[in-house]
Amino acid sequence: MTEKRIHMRLYIIRHGETEWNKEKRMQGQRDIMLDQEGIRLAALTGKGMQDVPIDIAISSPLLRAKQTAQLVLANRAVPIITDERIQEMSFGDWEGELIRDSKVVPQEFIDKFYHDPMHCIRPPHGETFPDVVKRTGAFFESLVKDGSYDKLNILVSTHGAASRCLLSHFYDDKEDIWRGCVPPNCSVSIVDVTDGVGTVVEKDKIYAKDAE
């Protein structure tokens, strides 16, 4: 029997806190930077991960994700590249709206967003969860097929919905996107990729606790 090989390990992190996170606004692809707490949390996460080997970082092109990757890696000589396929879900015309108290966003959308995300309606000029599942799946497949990533430890700096859509490719139940919750800011899910198949070995690990 041929022994399976670990091709790579992914450390999938949600960005640090932003002002819009605190205000509970729909950020989507608006380019919002980290607030002071987000900067502090990302730096602490970096300290907690200082003994974790990282060979390369792939970040969403949105500023909050790039800042998080930079702060986590601190002074390490680790290259950071960006990939649009792991940027946050677009909420289109609803970006900037309050999640729980909007005169514009239908209550049905909010309810299904958290409890039945794969059947949410499409925001005007925005994306659906299946759209994001598809593009994050294409991102993962490209990592597997590109031999230059073989056996690397990769930091993937992304977003709440996008990270959960990416993780959905590693579970049998594809409908349960949230897996119990929206990932906390700067939480890290660890995925081992063996013979092209990803397995979640830890979900929503908080490295910042190790540094406080």
Positions marked active-site? 15, 88
| ∠ Cα 40 45 46 (to 5°) | 100
CB 58 within 8 A of CB 12: no
Tell the burial category of 87 from Cβ atoms under 10 Å away from its Cβ (0-12, 13-18, 19+): buried
What residue ranges in the chain does DSSP mark as E strands?
6-14, 56-59, 80-82, 152-158, 188-194, 197-205
Distance between CA atoms of residues 100 and 186, nearest Å: 23
| ∠ Cα 70 195 176 (to 5°) | 70
